[in-house]
Amino acid sequence: MEFKGIISGWEGSKPRKVLITKERWEEMKEEKKYGRFYEMIKKLDKI
């Protein structure tokens, strides 16, 4: 998750920080669910 920019890097015993919004997290889940068709689905929702 750190590599993908979702959470901050390791800083010893300190908790990691969340670097994305909840909205972006939901969008990322949809992208994973629909794969390469995500952009097409997103465009159709705007029509």
* Structure-block tokens of residue 31: 């992208």
pTM above 0.75, yes or no: no
Q: Tokens 């890097």 belong to which residue?
A: 9
* Structure-block tokens of residue 2: 């750190």
Instruction: Enumerate the domain spans of the chain.
Output: 1-47
Helix, strand, coil distribution of the chain in percent, nearest 5: 55, 5, 45
Give the model's pLDDT for residue 40. Answer: 73
Question: Is residue 22 within a helix (H) or strand (E), and if so which, with residue range?
Answer: helix 22-34
- pLDDT tens-digit profile, the chain (47 residues): 898 889 999 999 999 999 999 999 988 888 887 777 767 777 777 66
Q: What angle do CA 37, 41, 42 make, to 5 degrees?
A: 115
Give the model's pLDDT for residue 8. Answer: 95
